[in-house]
Structure 1
Amino acid sequence: MLSYRKALWALVFVANLAAASSAQAQYDTAFPGAVQPFTDVNLENYDFQWFAPPITEQYGQDTIDPNTGIFFEYHRLFMNVNRGNEAPGPWDGDATYGNRIDFGFMTEEDHGWLFSGWRLDGPSYDLVNRGDFNSFEANRTWRLPQFYKGFWMEPMIGMRYAQFNDKTAPLTFVQNNMLLGQLGTRVFSHRGQWTLKGEARAFAGNNFVFRGNIDDYSNAVVGGEFALGAAYNLTREISLDVFWNTMYFGEGIGRDPNANDSESMFISGVAFGVTLNR
């Protein structure tokens, strides 16, 4: 197990070094900040009028552009997690709760960063489906020009670390540690006091599976995430959100502590929360 942990942290370290050196090598002063790993956020130009009246005009018309600057989102998650292949009713799932936080910034030059973290405290169905899930991702983002009737697109590229601990077996839990690269996009459109939005990500990487004193192993993992929802803008920079979110991991998840198995995992449900300047 120690060797896999060392390999996992080595991969994280090397990936960060490679990203930083690549960005430095490709830097072009004709496009400042376009490929730099981090861009200065000029807070002096942001008025932070959280309670200004909401914008009701469609983005892209009457010189109304989408928000720039820093943003923060919090959502309460109500999700369903499928059971392992050896559990009773393997096609069923069990409900759990969790939290999601997103934060980052978008500059006036239409590039920025998005960081997102998940935490699910369950499911908690003893001897059938028990575990917890954690995820953190960092994405470089860009905003493309308006492309169709007020719709805007923000492509992203980044990395994700996801961990799923299966605690269904009473004596041994299975820990899945996934290091993933990902591509995705966010699409949104403003209509009156409503913002319609959708997100999609595809990811792939390696899963390091630890099983206590039992031999560890690793699997390749491919999957994706999809979200579709709407936000009601209370003020110019504060909105209430609701969306449906689904995350799928293809073959590669370890859930049986007594076998080097490779299963899929499906997490789906709804989220309610608040967004500041998005």
Structure 2
Amino acid sequence: MLSYRKALWSLVIAANLAVASSVQAQYETAFPGAMQPFSDVNLENYDFQWFAPPITEQYGQDTIDPNTGIFFEYHRLFMNVSRAESAPGPWDGDATYGNRVDFGYMTDDNYGWLCSGWRLDGPSYDLVNRADFNSFEVNRTWRLDQFHQGFWIEPMIGMRFAQFNDKTTVVPEPVFVQNNMLMGQLGGRIFSQRGQWTLYSTVRGFGGQNWIFRGDIEDYSNGVVGGEFSLGCAYHITREITFDVAWQHMYFGTGIGRDPNFQDSDDMTFSGVAFGFTLNR
């Protein structure tokens, strides 16, 4: 019986490896080198003329090709952070500032990497809503062929680590509640350049495990799911430098530990405005 099981598992593993090899071969035909984790970035053909005049076409045409190579983005965030269900006015939220940095590259063969980091320094209201938030993600990205009217779509798949620290004082002694979330995610970016304007939107859905550490009770964990959405527009002041503004929204639907009085699962929302600049994207 043991020999039979070993033979059966050997056949299953061999079949899966064969299928995976076939799929990878077909995928490599459509996106050469896309399965290589660290592909070469072609800098030889990049002229680094950041201050060249912007490339524009008549509105409605689809002849402007998107940029390739290394890119960088910085945005200043002005966000509203929701309160815990146990806080006064749980339907309300509180304002805070933060920063967001995105960087990566896109090759001439239309695949690349995207890394993104968040930092929110607040809000800072002791008896209502005091917290901070950090997030970092790594995504493999692809660029599909151009769609009707000049729209481009860039699917992505990746991993995200996020940490939310709730330091709200609602009991005689402050209780520090730390959420450490490791999540997989799927998403994409859609954009179109019309003249000196680029219209864009991004969406991500994520889910994973949240390990919650506290000072007053035993640590515990929750499953966590959520999503992120942005909608913005950018103005090209040069060929590769843009200033842009966007509405940014992030939502955790379940799994967040916030209430310092008892073990619980809460939701959480960040929503607000991001404004900043982009280089070569």
Q: Same fold (TM over 0.5)?
A: yes
1:215 corresponding residue in structure 2: 218
Q: What residue identity is the alignment partner of 2:198?
A: T
* SS across alignment from 2:44: helix
Cα separation, 1, equivalents of 2:193 and 2:268: 34
2:242 corresponding residue in structure 1: 239
Which among 187, 192, 197 is matched to residue 189 of structure 1? 192
Runs of 4+ that moved beyond 6 A: 23-26
Structure 2 runs not aligned, ≥5 long: 1-19
* SS across alignment from 2:229: strand
After TM superposition, give the deviation of residue 37 of structure 1 in Å: 1.3
Cα separation, 2, equivalents of 1:103 and 1:87: 37
Q: Retained in 1: the 8 A contact 2:198–2:235? A: yes
Structure 1 runs not aligned, ≥5 long: 1-22
1:37 corresponding residue in structure 2: 37
Q: 1:119 to 1:25 in 2, by over 3 A?
A: farther
Q: Retained in 1: the 8 A contact 2:253–2:268? A: yes
> Which runs of structure 2 are paired with 1:128-167 in the superposition (5 Å)?
128-167=128-167
Cα separation, 1, equivalents of 2:64 and 2:79: 36
Cα separation, 1, equivalents of 2:43 and 2:21: 24
CA RMSD in angstroms comes to 1.9
Cα separation, 1, equivalents of 2:153 and 2:34: 17
* SS across alignment from 1:112: strand
Q: Retained in 2: the 8 A contact 1:81–1:268? A: yes
TM-score (norm 1): 0.88
1:171 corresponding residue in structure 2: 174
Q: Retained in 2: the 8 A contact 1:59–1:65? A: no
Cα separation, 2, equivalents of 1:82 and 1:51: 41
Cα separation, 2, equivalents of 1:60 and 1:24: 42
Larger Rg: 2
Q: 1:144 to 1:60 in 2, by over 3 A?
A: farther
Q: Retained in 2: the 8 A contact 1:58–1:190? A: no
Q: Retained in 1: the 8 A contact 2:82–2:90? A: yes
- Residue 166 of structure 2 corresponds to residue 180 of structure 1: no
After TM superposition, give the deviation of residue 172 of structure 1 in Å: 1.4
Query: Percent of pairs identical after alignment?
Result: 75
Q: Retained in 2: the 8 A contact 1:26–1:35? A: no
Q: What residue identity is the alignment partner of 2:244?
A: D
Kindly provide the CA deviation profile for residues 106-137 of structure 1, in whole angstroms up to 9, marking residues without a partner as x: 00000000000000000101111000000000
Q: 1:60 to 1:115 in 2, by over 3 A?
A: farther
Kindly provide the CA deviation profile for residues 180-213 of structure 1, in whole angstroms up to 9, marking residues without a partner as x: 1000010000011000000000001011000025
Cα separation, 1, equivalents of 2:92 and 2:63: 50
TM-score (norm 2): 0.87
Q: Retained in 1: the 8 A contact 2:73–2:103? A: yes
